Amino acid sequence: MKPVMDEKIIWYVYYKNEPIGIFVNLPDLNQWFKYLNGKFDLFHKIKFLWIKKTKKNHRFTGLVFGIVPEFQGKGVDAYIINESKLVIQPQTKYTDYEMQWIGEFNPKMINVVETFGDSYRSRRLITYRYLFDPTKEFKPHPILL
């Protein structure tokens, strides 16, 4: 991931030199991969590096967001989002943000994303499960409070 990481969109929060929060984002790689036609041999890896340098990518995607349980509900999530927004919006080329891997069982995180500036819900992701043994009892993931 090192060749595609952008240090301005990866954030860590520390309290007394201990990590308590993480906010990891990556540029939307599909904006570059679409030029490779599904190939990634040596020639296409070199082509990818050229495309990365020459083609603009205005979208980034959220991968990981988490706060240590002892610090949840104390404003650390709002702090990390607000501080990152102060740097990302004026100092980078990114104009679109997509944070998509949020389960429907996580209303706290859905609320955090909906308060992220001029955001809107572009899609709703649903997790489907297949029971290989239908005799076993199925319990969906509990709603996180």
**Residue 103 identity (one-letter amino acid):** G
Per-residue pLDDT, 22: 92
**Residue 64 identity (one-letter amino acid):** V
Per-residue pLDDT, 75: 86
Which tens digits make up the pLDDT trace of 92-145? 788 887 777 777 777 777 777 776 666 666 777 777 778 888 888 888 777 776
Q: Give the chain's domains with CATH numbers.
A: 7-114 (3.40.630.30)
More confident residue, 19 or 86: 19
What global pTM score does this model have?
A: 0.71
Q: Give DSSP secondary structure letters for 14-47.
A: EETTEEEEEEEEEE-THHHHTTTTT--SHHHHHH
**Residue 90 identity (one-letter amino acid):** P
Per-residue pLDDT, 47: 93
Coil, helix or strand at residue 91: helix
Between CA 49 and CA 56, with CA 52 as vertex, the angle to 5 degrees is 165
For 42, half-sphere exposure in the C-beta direction (CA atoms, 13 angstrom radius) is 0
What does residue 19 show for φ and ψ, rounded to 5 degrees?
Answer: -70, 135
Which tens digits make up the pLDDT trace of 28-49? 888 898 999 889 899 999 999 9
What does residue 123 show for φ and ψ, rounded to 5 degrees?
Answer: -160, 160
Which tens digits make up the pLDDT trace of 51-98? 988 988 888 888 888 899 999 888 888 888 888 888 887 777 888 877
Per-residue pLDDT, 51: 92
78 closest CA partner among 114, 118, 46: 114
Coil, helix or strand at residue 65: strand
Contact 114, 78 (CB under 8 A): no
Per-residue pLDDT, 117: 63
